[in-house]
Every structure is written in structure tokens, then in C-alpha cells.
Structure 1
Amino acid sequence: MSKLVEMQEGSFYTEQYRNLFKEIGKTDDEIAKRIQQNWDELFNGDEDTRIYYPVGDDMGYMLDTGNLDVRTEGMSYGMMMAVQMGNKDVFDRLWRWTMKYMYMTSGENAGYFAWSCAQDGTKNSFGPAPDGEEFFAMALFFASHRWGDGAEPFNYSVQAKDLLRTCLHKGEDGIGFPMWNKENKLIKFIPNCEFSDPSYHLPHFYELFALWAYEEDHKFWKEAAAASRGYLKTSCHPKTGLAPEYAYYDGTPNNEKGYGHFFSDAYRVAANIGLDYEWFRGDDWEIEEANKLQAFFSDKDLADYRRYTISGEPFEEKSIHPVGLLATNAFASLAANGQDRLKWVELFWNTPVRTGVRRYYDNCLYFFSLLALSGNYKIWKP
């Protein structure tokens, strides 16, 4: 099979990952040094760059530097970064902290993780956030496949499967709520509500859950992947490509509390579409969507990124995570085929990690983009 034909299929099938940095002329050595440099900044750097903090001999946490708390979002992101980098020590430290302080063993949310904790582990909330749970499960599967299962809680694959079972079947005994709507197969914003967040939709993860979750749920996860791809089509604006932060199940923006516009959460949609296309060639619509997003931002400078309606009307309010937005727009180049595709990759390469108070969310998105654009955001198979 020719290389051209091979690349018509996703990385799951070919086990080949595109390196867009090489397409803009960067060498293997330059790319490897950049990845290590940025990892060191985020995980071992000074107080103006780091977002990871070790605790004692065997734990650590990811700090939301803007809110000074520890979130399931960040902990699961850190675990995904660590498994992609092959750093078992950091992965296990994060998972041990998560299980000790965030995991809930009683109440209607038993089996889920508290979405926010203080730095000393005290729970700020006893509610979960589904984007954390789905990233935990995927990172745990990858860890199992890369390093093998160990003693509890490092029996990674069992932990992942049990978590996904809880996410789907919670509430069947009358206590609590599942994280997915079982009828339409769409992920919820939080378990006890009936609307969604487009940036939570990870069809490329669900394709893998359909292979590795408990067998009785394989069919659900396969259907969830298709449902999420369909949902993204309806929730992203047909002209601008912008998605709202919250949306109803029919894809229309949920603006009851002001979250029906394109702002921080919604930046992740571009990344998710790029990765779904890279791994599975999920849908040709993803090419169009990536092109629309990149075209919308083509005449806008990082310093002037704002909140936008999904039709593209700007608010006065500036983006609080402009580096994260730039990073995800570059991430979309894995799906895009427009004229600016490589310009975004070059712009990202020339942009350093964010420093200062708000750096956490930006740099999580930044590091995922760095991994993906270099061909290092990989599917780790059994």
C-alpha cells in the first residue's frame, strides 16, 4: 500500500501519526527538544510556569493556577500527558492523589470523582464533571497497555472499566444519575442535568471504549461515537464553525446562564475534531469544520481574541485563555486542508507557553497540541 493511500485512513488503522512540525521544516531533534522543554516548564519549572506540584514521596497534583484549586479536568489531563510521555512516576502520583482525595465512596455520586478540591485535598464540591471521568478512563487504558496492570489502584484497565460502567449505569438502583443520556447517547454537562457541552464530546475516545470497556457496553460506546459526531455538526455554527460552551441536545446554544457563546470551554472542540480525524478519519465534515474555524480567526491577533456569539459577533470581553485558543486552532490543522493550515502550525511553534496566573488551562491545551502536531498523541493498544 502506498503512503498516500495509507494516510487516507486514521492512525488507529495505520499506526502512523503525522508530524506537522516537519511539514514546516523542523527537524526531529528540534521537535524532541521542544517537547522536553515544554514538559519541563509545566512539570518541573519555576513558579511562573509550572502547573504540576509533587506531594511527598508518592503523590502530586495539577493546579488550576487561576482558581487555586485541583480539578478532575487537570488531573486527568496530567495523566494523559504523562502516559503519552512515558512518565509512569508522574502518572501514578497523580492517580494516587486523585484516588485519595477526589474519589467518592458514599452518597449519590459514589463511584465518581469530586470535580474540585483544595490543594490539601479537601473537597470543594461533591459533584463530578464528566470531562474528567472520560479522560481518566482513556488515560488509564493507555497506561494499562503501555505499562501493564499492577496492584490496586494501579490495576489501570480494571479501574477504567469500572469507571465507565459507573458513568453509564449509575442511577439504575435509584441512587444518582449517569453521565450519558442513555436514549440519545450524548454526554451530559453534569449527571443531574439534561443538556450538554460540545467540548465534552470525544468520539475518538468512545471508539476505543467500544473495544476496551466491559463487553455489555461495547454497543453503547460505538453508538455514542456516532451520536457525538452528529451532535458536533448540529452545535457548531454552519458558517463560522464556532461552538457554544453549553448546548441543548438539539445542538442549539444553552444561554440561560450566559454560556451559549464561544468562550473557554468551547476552544476544545477544535482539538477534539482534529484528534478524531487523525485517529479515525471520523467524518469528512471535520475537514470543513477545521477550515471554518481557522478562516474565522485568520485575521485576528492573539491579543484581541474575545468572547463571540457562535455566529461570530464579538463582545467587548477579551479571551482569558488566548494561548489556549491559538493552540487548539493549530490542533485543528490535523483535520484542515485550507490554505492557512500550516500557518497555524508555524504560529503555534513560535508561541511560547503562557506564564503567570492564568497559565493552567492555556498550557494544558498547549501541551496536547504540541503532542498531537508532532505525532506524539498516540493510541496505546493492548
Structure 2
Amino acid sequence: MAGAVLTGKYRNVFKECGYSEDEITKRVEQTFETIFYGKEEERFYHEVGDDMAYMEDTGNHDVRTEGMSYGMMVCVQMNKKEEFDRLWKWVRTYMYIENGPNKNYFVWSCGLDGSKNADGPAPDGEEYFAMALFFASARWGDGEGIFNYGAEAKAILRECVHKGEASHPGEPMWEPSNKLIKFVPGFDFSDPSYHLPHFYELFAKNADPCDRTFWEQAAEASRGYLHLACHPKTGLSAEYADYDGKPHIGHQEIFGRHDWYYSDAYRTIANIGMDHLWFEKDPWQVEIANRLQHFYCAEQKEHWDGVFLTDGTRLEEKALHPVAIVAVNAQASLAADGPYVKECVDRLWDTPLRTGDRRYYDNFLYMFAMLALSGNYRIYQK
């Protein structure tokens, strides 16, 4: 088989597991409607004036490039151009950095009123902004100014790669020596859940021509890195990891503890599933997805809300985002071919969206899993 980038075919894993097309379509649409237009305790999309909107991190009561870029990706996948443009205008109005060493990046956190809470970026925001903008360009066509989606995406990637050069003062988002994405510019370690080789393959086709080889190398480097970052027996990765893939135990005085399988890290297996769906270049992805599903379904069947070291040691803490775990374990089914695929998919189907303060992160991963497993998380190219 070849990935969807060549075949144009996107698996509907829900249908493979016995659900009807009508109920799948209804569920995906309901999930979007709840997140964007549901009751106050359900939604976290908020419109501002006539032409802007933001996604609120309901646990921290701020606006993050993570959530804004996720919201834009959801909108382009769901063909919601008005909401996409509202989010992007809010980003360019309040989050864009106009001066200093982080010029042309986006501050990772703002207040709900648009005031900046930081002076630097988080690279997962920039890579999702760029991919969502390229998809918007292909699906809807380019407009003018900030709505020239393709030009905006290229500009973001140009900064990510070339900062640190004489013409682009500052710190790059990818380490030039090994082509691995950094946790944040200026620190020499990574976050496995930031690694999106399926995005980098597409950046290689859409970025400035001079940078296309870089993105090809970044895709290859990230696939290799994930082999190191995911534990061979459990499939679990740490939230932060060194360039050799080992859990990062430093900088806890700044960032707190992140050497365990905890909130950020849940995204890693979901991303592996997406890379397999789109490109199917690495057979290891099937193996590691099977191992993670075995870990949860066979070894930790009663402890899906646990916190683990990457070797599977269960700690006393409880997961902050238990619905996110259910979502990504199901999304692993895009790569897995073992005996636990249907169990993981059924568990997601039977799990409702989260309500309350922590719903933002859980429900975004839930939305992405719904899109991916229904065959609606797609590549858009000109």
C-alpha cells in the first residue's frame, strides 16, 4: 500500500469497526458544533467583534498558539472558512511579534483580551499555522494581505529555518545540525509530540525552493528520532526528550517535570498514526502503535487514567487529560493492525466530549481523532 498522499484514499476506521456512514458524519459534525458553538460549559471558541475569534485554553484561561493553530486546522478540514479567517486575524493582530530577536514568530500565550503573556514562541504553534495555511491556500485560494495564506505560510517557515543567520537574527526552531524541532528556541532538547514528519513532507513541496531539501531532511530526521523517543516495549514517549530520545530530566526548575508520559506526550502516537495514514513510509509505526495499544488494553486495562514513566512504571499521579488518552489510543489505530484496534476505537466512540475547566486540550485531541478515524483529516494540495 501507499499513503493517502499518493492514493487519495483516506481510511474510515469507524466504518471498518462497524459504524454507519450517517452516524459517523453526524458525530463529527456534532463534535465541531459543540466545541465551536455549544453551551458555555462546552465550547471554547469565542468570537470577537465582526471578524476575529479565539480558542480559549479553559484550564489556564488564556489563548495559545497551540490552540489557535489547532482551531485553524480543524476549520480547514471542516471547510469552515469564516471561522478560520476569524482565528487567523486574531493571531496576526495580537500574537505576532514585530520586533526583537523573536520577530516574525508568534507569542505562545496571550490573555483573552489579546495582551501578550510572553515574548517568545512555542514551535508546535508555528508548524500547525504553516500547515493549516497551506491547506487553506489549496482549498480556498489565496486572498490579500494576511489572507494570502500561502505567502503567510512560507514566511513562517522561512523564519523557523533561517533565524540565527545574519539576515534573520534570533534562534531557529529547528536545530540546524540535526534537523530536529526544539521544545523552544534557545534550548537544546525536543518534545517528541512536536515531531510531524507528515507535515514536513508537505513543507518540502510548498516552502521556499531553497528550503525544500531542509524539510525533506527534517522529515527523515523526525521519523528516526521517534524510534528513539518511543519506548520499544510500551510505545510511550516522554513529554520532553533529549536529541538522543532519552527523557529530558533537566530544566525542571524552569518548566517543571516532563520526563514522563503525560499531557504533551499523548500527541506523539496520534502523530505517528497520521504519518502512517498520509505517507506510509515507516513499517515501525505499525509495530509501535500495536505495542502502545497492547500496553493500555492488556497491561493497564484498569488504569487508562494513570501517569507512567516511558518504561510503563505506573506512578501515583492521575492523568490531567484522561479523555485525550482515549482519543490518541484510538487514533493509533491508523497505524496499528493488532487485536486492540476495535477496542480502542469503540472506547473513543463511547466516550463523550469533556466538560469543565480542562476540556480544551482533551476535546481538541478528541476532535482530531474524530476527523482522522472518519477519513476526514486530509491533505489539500494545489
Taking structure 2 as the reference length, what is the TM-score of the superposition?
Answer: 0.97
Written as runs of structure 1 = structure 2, the 5 A alignment for 1:236-315 is: 236-256=230-250, 257=252, 258-299=257-298, 300=300, 304-315=304-315
Which string of whole-angstrom CA distances, capped at 9 and with x for unpartnered residues, describes residues 143-194 of structure 1? Answer: 0000000011000000000100000001212721000011100000001111
Is 1:29 matched with 2:22? yes
**What is the aligned partner in structure 2 of residue 325 from structure 1?**
325
- For the 8 Å contact 1:302–1:323, the answer to whether it is kept is no
Residue 307 of structure 1 and its aligned partner are, at CA, apart by 1.6
Describe the shift of the 1:355–1:302 C-alpha distance in structure 2 as closer, same or farther (beyond 3 A). Answer: farther
CA-to-partner distance for each residue in 1:61-82, whole Å, 9 max, x for gaps?
Answer: 0000000000000000000000
Answer yes or no: is the 8 Å Cα contact 2:296–2:304 preserved in 1.
Answer: no
Show CA shifts across 1:257-290 (max 9, x none): 2211110000000110000000000300000110
Question: How far off its partner does 1:17 sit?
Answer: 0.3
- Residue 3 of structure 1 corresponds to none
Quote the Cα distance in structure 1 between the aligned partners of 2:169 and 2:265. 31
Unmatched tracts of structure 1, length 5 or more: 1-7
Cα contact 1:255–1:261 (8 A) shared by 2? no
Counterpart residue number, 2:211: 217
Question: Within 1, Cα distance between the matches of 2:291 and 2:170?
Answer: 40
Picking from 216, 220, 228, the partner of 1:226 is 220
| 1:342 counterpart residue number | 342
- Could you tell me how far apart the structure 1 residues matched to 2:180 and 2:281 are? 17
In the alignment, which residue of structure 2 is the partner of 1:129? 122
- The one-letter code of the counterpart of 2:194 is Y
Give the corresponding residue for 1:4. Answer: none
Percent of pairs with identical residues: 57
Query: Which residue number corresponds to residue 183 of structure 2?
Result: 189
CA distance in 2, matches of 1:19, 1:175: 45
1:305 CA displacement: 1.4
2:145 is aligned with 1:145: no
Three-state SS of the structure 1 residue aligned to 2:317 is strand
Deviation of 1:303 after TM superposition, in Å, equals 6.8
Q: 1:63 aligns with which of 56, 64, 70?
A: 56
C-alpha distance in 1, partners of 2:302/2:45?
26
Query: What's the Cα RMSD here?
Result: 1.0
How many residue pairs were aligned?
Answer: 375
- Aligned-pair distance for 1:27? 1.4
Task: Indicate if the aligned counterparts of 2:57 and 2:360 stay in contact, CA closer than 8 A.
Answer: yes
Give the Å deviation of 1:23.
Answer: 1.1
- One-letter code aligned to 2:350: N
In 2, the alpha carbon distance for the partners of 1:296 and 1:241 equals 8
Question: Displacement of 1:301 after TM fit?
Answer: 5.3
Cα distance change on mapping 1:158 and 1:73 into 2, 3 Å: same
- Give the counterpart letter for 1:329 in structure 2: N
SS in 2 for 1:153: helix
The equivalent residue for 1:204 is 198
Provide the secondary structure at the position in 2 that maps to 1:61: strand
Is the 1:66–1:359 contact (alpha carbons within 8 Å) kept by the matching residues of 2?
yes
SS of the residue 1:237 aligns to: coil
Q: TM-score, normalised by structure 1?
A: 0.97
Q: In the alignment, is the contact (CA less than 8 A) between 2:137 and 2:148 conserved in 1? A: yes
Q: Is the 8 A contact 2:304 2:325 kept in 1?
A: no
> Mean Cα displacement is larger for which, 168-177 or 199-208?
168-177
How much has 1:51 moved relative to structure 2? 1.3
Residue by residue, what CA displacement relative to the aligned partner does 1:322-373 show, whole Å, maximum 9, x if unpaired? 0001100100000001101121111111111111110000000000000000
Report how far residue 24 of structure 1 moved: 1.7
- SS of the residue aligned with 2:146? coil
Tell me the distance in 2 between the aligned counterparts of 1:10 and 1:60: 35
Per the alignment, residue 66 of structure 2 pairs with 73
Given candidates 138, 160, 163, the residue that maps to 2:153 is: 160
Partner of 2:104: 111
